[in-house]
């Protein structure tokens, strides 16, 4: 699934996501370490678990960071970033800054596939709310986000239509090998 929404963002923001090549292995390891470090806390506090790999009916593989099984179920997505947290909401809000659209697109893809509508996004901002004039320490923020069925359907249509257009999916929405 990461190839599907990744391809969309390569087209939408080529200067940011079109570089190609493998991700920085040290940053990748830092993100994985954060996920593992938070896993036990989320498990104890919210009865969350790392569910492993899922496959959609069409054969698209995806791996959520966690699921909370209480109530109606909630996806957990954990992100580590060097982007500033300065413009992230700290009170109830209806949107996130556009630079985090890829995160939300991923979450909506997973929710659509899981037939859920609620997510918890946990973001660890290595540079905190740093700016050019001041540098502050790291910041850990979390949000509960609810989506409508329409938001999830529209997002899935956008991602899969793009994937069909660029040759990642066939006309039936199955991965092309």
Half-sphere exposure of residue 159, counting CA atoms within 13 Å on the CB side?
26
Sign of dihedral through CA atoms 10, 19, 62, 123?
A: negative
Q: What is the pLDDT of residue 120?
A: 96
At residue 122, the pLDDT reads 95
Classify strands 74-81 and 118-125 as parallel, antiparallel or unpaired.
parallel
Structure confidence at residue 76 (pLDDT):
95
As a whole number of angstroms, the distance between CA 111 and CA 74 comes to: 9
pLDDT one digit per residue (tens) for the chain, 177 residues: 999 999 999 999 999 998 767 778 888 899 889 888 888 888 888 888 888 999 999 999 999 999 998 878 999 999 999 999 999 999 988 899 999 999 999 999 999 999 999 999 999 999 888 766 676 789 999 999 999 999 999 999 999 999 999 999 999 999 997
- Tokens standing for residue 7: 């391809």
pLDDT, position 42: 85
Map residue 25 onto helix, strand or coil: helix
Look at residue 132 in the predicted model and tell me its pLDDT.
Answer: 63
User: Please, are residues 156 and 41 in contact by the beta-carbon 8 Å criterion?
Assistant: no
Whole-angstrom Cα distance, residue 156 to residue 174? 14
Domains of the chain: 2-165 (3.90.320)
Question: Quick one: pLDDT at residue 133?
Answer: 65
Query: pTM of the prediction?
Result: 0.92
**What is the distance between the alpha carbons of residues 70 and 130, in angstroms, rounded to a whole number?**
36
- Give the per-residue pLDDT at 101: 97
């Amino acid at each position: 699934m990461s190839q599907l929404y990744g391809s969309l963002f390569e087209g939408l923001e080529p200067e940011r996501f079109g570089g190609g090549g493998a991700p920085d292995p040290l940053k990748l390891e830092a993100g994985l370490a954060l996920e593992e470090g938070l896993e036990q806390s989320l498990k104890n506090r919210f009865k969350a678990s790392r569910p492993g790999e899922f496959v959609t009916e069409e054969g698209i593989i995806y791996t959520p960071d966690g699921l909370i099984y209480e109530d109606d179920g909630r996806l957990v997505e954990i992100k580590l970033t060097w982007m500033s947290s300065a413009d992230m909401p700290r009170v109830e809000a209806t949107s996130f800054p556009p630079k985090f659209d890829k995160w939300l697109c991923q979450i909506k893809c997973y929710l659509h596939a899981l037939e859920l509508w609620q997510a918890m996004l946990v973001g660890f901002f290595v540079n905190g709310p740093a700016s050019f004039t001041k540098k502050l320490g790291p910041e850990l923020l979390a949000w509960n986000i609810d989506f409508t069925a329409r938001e999830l359907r529209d997002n899935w249509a956008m991602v899969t239509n793009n994937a069909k257009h660029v040759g990642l999916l066939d006309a039936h929405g199955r991965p092309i090998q």
